[in-house]
Amino acid sequence: IKSEIKMDIDDPPVIYGLETQARALCSVPALDDSQQFIIGTQGLRVEHNQLHLLTFDADTNSVSKRIFDHGRDEIWSVSVAPHNPNLCATVFNRVTMDSGTNPSVAKRWCLWKLPEEEDNQTPRHRNSSEDALTSSSLSSVESLQSIGSIELEQQGEPRCLAFHPERAEAVLVSDGGLYQLGLGSGAVRLLAHLPAKDGRSQLRYWHAAWNPHHSAQQVIAACDSGGLRGFDVRCPPSDGPVVVIDNAHNGQARCVDYNPNKQYYLASSGDDGAIRFWDTRQPSNPVKMLRLHKHWACCVQFNPYHDQLVLSGGTDAKVYLTNNRSISSEPVLSLDDDLDDDDDDDDRRQQQPELDEDRTVSVVEEHEDSVYAAVWCATDPWLFASLSYDGRLVISHVPKSEKYRILL
């Protein structure tokens, strides 16, 4: 059976093109388990920036889309609430021309409600990879419903918004620090403000992630100094960080993600191009380091189901899918190995020594410009998407050989 499976040819990646530059990409945890991604355009001088909600159809290997109007505001970041796929947040740039010639630009953020799909009125427009570049004008554009945003003290430039994995909460990452927001009962309110201070020196946070373990009471942020700071939201902000990892990266730390299956473990990426894996109980040294990217490593994410699979994208236009089995929650020996004799076990390992080795599984070569975002599909562990600055979204599969190696 195995040999037949190996003979299977991997599905080719699906490419979807935008006409403007883009940085914002997020996976949508659709309720019907369809494979959805949402991307936002970044056009500074464009009349209509858009959010594209893309649904991947595995049978035809194609995507269908819904488009939402985001106005003149160029989108820098988009995120979708894990508990509500219709609730999304964007961080955007708004240019205002005040009386005369002096323009001003301000970063803002807003929560949106995606309108319910009306099946009969707007049939999903299917487009395969061939006509991707030209098709967006054909579909109708829906409008977003603003839920709200609040002005925060010393907010500075917002960077992104991280929804809480369980509760109706979120944390806004901005120059001024982390703002814990309550989103329940139809209104946004500030729960706590964790200022971006490190003793006397001012930090700037770039990205943040919730710790999914222990009912998600901790959030960790990546700083421009290259460090990581973790906070427990149950503690008063004056207590300061509970996790301090200094010099996680040489240069700015760009992204951080918790291992969904193994508590205390997290991954970070940064301007030194390295992906480092940390155990928050031993913050002095990384558990593991990957040096794959030749320039900034912009994003890193664990597969939500099989945490040995790690996705990372960088400004060298590469997306790496790596298997880091040695530090994953996956046991070193599978169950039937334990039952076997030692000799048998050794034999097996000799036969397939690559089984247990950490390795690069695949590289997405389809991008030609910097990749700022790469995410796993929230509903399918074998699907991921990456977005490069030139507006190209690539939806790729985990190679089948790897998939069966993990499953079998």
Residues that bind another protein (CB under 8 A): 21, 44-45, 93, 95, 102-105, 247, 250-252, 271-273, 289, 291, 294-296, 315-316, 368, 370, 389-390
Q: Which residues contact 4 (CB under 8 A, 6 or more apart)?
A: none
Strands (E), 211-273: 218-223, 228-232, 243-245, 253-258, 265-270
Question: Would you say 167 or 295 has its CB closer to another protein?
Answer: 295
Least gap, CB of 293 to another protein (angstroms): 9
Q: Is the backbone of residue 181 left (phi > 0), alpha (psi -120 to 50) or beta?
A: beta
- Nearest Cα to 180, choosing from 207, 162, 165, 203? 162
Least gap, CB of 107 to another protein (angstroms): 9
Question: Would you say 374 or 377 has its CB closer to another protein?
Answer: 374
Question: Would you say 5 or 105 has its CB closer to another protein?
Answer: 105
Question: Would you say 174 or 180 has its CB closer to another protein?
Answer: 174
User: What's phi and psi for 134, nearest 5 deg?
Assistant: -110, -5
Least gap, CB of 87 to another protein (angstroms): 27
Least gap, CB of 101 to another protein (angstroms): 9
Length of the chain measured in residues:
408
- Nearest Cα to 312, choosing from 376, 235, 250, 219? 376
Distance, in Å, from the CA atom of 281 to the CA atom of 356, rounded to the nearest integer, reads: 25
Which 3 state secondary structure label does DSSP give 77?
A: strand
Least gap, CB of 123 to another protein (angstroms): 32
Question: Would you say 235 or 292 has its CB closer to another protein?
Answer: 292
Least gap, CB of 207 to another protein (angstroms): 13
Least gap, CB of 161 to another protein (angstroms): 18
For residue 77, count CB atoms less than 10 angstroms from its CB and return exposed for 0-12, middle for 13-18, buried for 19 or more: buried
Distance, in Å, from the CA atom of 93 to the CA atom of 60, rounded to the nearest integer, reads: 37
Question: Would you say 205 or 296 has its CB closer to another protein?
Answer: 296
Q: Which residues contact 380 (CB under 8 A, 6 or more apart)?
A: 33, 35, 58
Least gap, CB of 297 to another protein (angstroms): 12
- Structure-derived torsion over alpha carbons of residues 329, 333, 339, 341, reported in degrees to the nearest 10: -160
Question: Would you say 183 or 290 has its CB closer to another protein?
Answer: 290
Question: Would you say 211 or 280 has its CB closer to another protein?
Answer: 280
